[in-house]
Amino acid sequence: MKKIHAALVITIIILSLGVSGTAVFAAQLHGTYSERIVPNVFIAGMNLSGMDALAATATLQRAYDRMITDGLTVTVGSTTHTVDLFPTIQGADAAYPLIDWDTNAAVHEALAIGHHTNPLTDSVRVLAHTLFGSTSVMARVTLDTERLQNAIFAAFPETQVPPSPTDFSATFPRGKAPIVTVTPGTDGQTLNTKPTFTTLALDAGDLSLKPITIATIAITPSITTTDAQTLIPKAIAAITAAPYTITGTNTEGDEETWSISQKTIADWIAPTQSDTNRFTVHIAPEKIIDFLTTLHTTIDIGAQNARFMMNEGVVTEFQGSKNGTVVDDDSFFAAFNAALGTATSETPIPVALRTEFASVTTENVNTLGIKEILGEATTTYTTATRNRRANIQHGAEKLNGLLIAPGETASLIAALRPFTLADGYVPELVIKGNEIEPEIAGGLCQIGTTVFRAVMHSGLEVVNRRNHSLAVSYYNDYTNGNPGTDATLYDPNPDFTFTNDFPTYILLAAHADSEKGEVTITFWGTKDGRSGSYTPPTVLTRTPAGATTYTETSALPAGVTQCQHGFTGYTTTFDYNITYANGISKTVPFLSSYRPLPETCLVGKAAETPRE
């Protein structure tokens, strides 16, 4: 019916104005809304009619900021807490909201409504939408469910009671067979967050969160006492067959053996339910973590990717590729469980291995087409802490020599993993809520930002990039000191990814100079006539940080205050421009929104005096 009414009204307009008058009217209407949102378009319940991209972004960002600042009110039983949706992290590198929303994508979606290529057609659509249309666009929020769940669990620690599984207990009378009894399991409890997250994602569609109530659910042991008691004969057989001998070859090529005694097996076995729902006796994986770590440390030889460097314009290899061999945990468990009750010290159990293949090999090094610089970028970190410098240094070493095939999309998170102490990263202290905790690998956003700028100088295709939630001053662009050309990294997301859309391989060279506080990223390859550049970022809006907030904490001595400085909010924009050899140009606009954040201080509180 609306389509009929729209057609009728438009016909009347044409008849009254004439064809030429209608054309003028259409041109005026098209001009009015050519770069604005057409009438009756709503996002998250807000009418954005007539707004340009900047006004719409500012309106939506304010609503989103209010939602994040207010936090999430959660009630469990008779206890209510407000969960912080934007944990404040010292240095702000890894500050990331637990409920995220891409404001820019929503604005682009709203601007596309009623806008095509033909002015007359667009004018008709705008007129029809003005008179009869109404389009509502939901705010498509993204929940970081793992971190959000952890934040809720941390707010209600008393609700997290792990169950105690049904287990065996063995005694070893002198000169007699072992005696096995069953230790009954006990129930535990946790919060039933899964349906909560489904409701929360829908509720956040209007950028406003209602208080939620989460129920606790019981966690019962998977094996009952009665079931376990039927397995006692199998448990005794598994124990009395010990000692078991396990063999493997260490990293030096020598054979190693491990003897597993009866008492150790008694500690390791547990009643379990097989894949076919049969009750049986197996080694419990969680009980032999230390032993598995020993096996991996002794045996594993990881794969080694080929690494390359440029020497006088010629690509040379400075690390050859090698496949590795590592312990295959699943196969080892299967072999060990199959041997329970049957193997003896004379029939050893070999450690199962699997081949770990190098992803970048050395074949055809000279035909890769790497001979000249495509683009590079340098950023500074002169004020960084010692640990942050160490992480930047380690991250650069991991990236240096990375080879990217034509058509391949590279992920910085994947290239920089694992973010562990064992890999070489070091922790920095961070403020989370009202606690101070160590965070591993702080500072890698320095690398993400530098790679982003080098990608643009090279004319490569940007796939995924997110600006920091806060405008961190040391990532401001070197051209004019404004924020806007940074890229954040936080495992597992946000990530920075880009595609090698050159016809040849490209080589990523990374060098960090900790003494000077500089990191340089250079892309090598074969130029194909394209050029890449970006315009200096322009600040569109500024929002003051706001008044300082104070939170008491037991993590600091009484009277001691530790503060993180405030952050001004910004909306900024810049254009990434690529001109190809055939003369075709492409412009990719980047609009970045940064939240304002007041100075946040933790104040040590005095210990409570116990009442008599």
Written as one letter, the residue type at 257 is T
| 459 and 397 fall within a common domain | yes
Sequence-ordered list of residues with C-beta below 8 angstroms from that of 232, at least 6 positions apart, any chain: 168, 180, 181, 182
Sequence-ordered list of residues with C-beta below 8 angstroms from that of 514, at least 6 positions apart, any chain: 389, 390, 392, 393
| 113 and 10 fall within a common domain | yes
| 390 and 477 fall within a common domain | yes
| 348 and 388 fall within a common domain | no
Distance CA 332, CA 268 (A): 14
| 320 and 419 fall within a common domain | no
276-282-283 Cα angle (round to 5): 140
538-543-545 Cα angle (round to 5): 125
Sequence-ordered list of residues with C-beta below 8 angstroms from that of 448, at least 6 positions apart, any chain: 412, 486, 487, 488, 489, 496
User: Taking Cα atoms as reference points, which of 310, 391, 355, 480 lies closest to residue 94?
Assistant: 391
Low-confidence spans in the chain with pLDDT less than 70: 1-33, 88-95, 115-133, 307-319, 343-345, 359-367, 429-438, 607-612
Written as one letter, the residue type at 585 is S
Distance CA 351, CA 333 (A): 9
| 463 and 524 fall within a common domain | yes
**Residue 402 phi, psi (nearest 5):** -65, 125
| 23 and 118 fall within a common domain | yes
Mark which of 513, 540, 567 sits at the end of a domain. 540
Q: Which two tokens stand for residue 176?
A: 């007699």
Q: Could you tell me the CA-to-CA distances from 115 to 32, 136, 160 in Å, in that order? A: 12, 16, 52
Q: What is the pLDDT of residue 2?
A: 47
Distance CA 524, CA 13 (A): 61
Host domain of residue 36: 2-72+86-139
Which CATH number covers residue 339? 3.10.20
Question: How many domains does the chain fold into?
Answer: 3
Does 158 map to a domain?
A: no
Distance CA 190, CA 128 (A): 53
User: Taking Cα atoms as reference points, which of 493, 509, 605, 600 lies closest to residue 559?
Assistant: 605
| 17 and 98 fall within a common domain | yes
Does 511 map to a domain?
A: yes
Q: What is the pLDDT of residue 134?
A: 79
Does 395 map to a domain?
A: yes
Element (H, E) at 196: helix 194-203
| 395 and 535 fall within a common domain | yes
| 347 and 441 fall within a common domain | no
CA count, 13 A, side-chain hemisphere, 257: 9
Does 211 map to a domain?
A: no
Mark which of 329, 356, 383 sits at the end of a domain. 356
Q: What is the pLDDT of residue 367?
A: 63
| 320 and 408 fall within a common domain | no
Beta-strand (E) ranges in 220-356?
244-249, 255-260, 269-273, 279-283, 307-311, 314-319, 324-327, 349-350, 353-356
Does 582 map to a domain?
A: no
Does 333 map to a domain?
A: yes
| 267 and 125 fall within a common domain | no
Does 536 map to a domain?
A: yes
Mark which of 476, 510, 540 sits at the end of a domain. 540
**Residue 236 phi, psi (nearest 5):** -60, -40
Beta-strand (E) ranges in 285-416?
307-311, 314-319, 324-327, 349-350, 353-356, 372-380, 402-404, 409-411
Does 570 map to a domain?
A: no
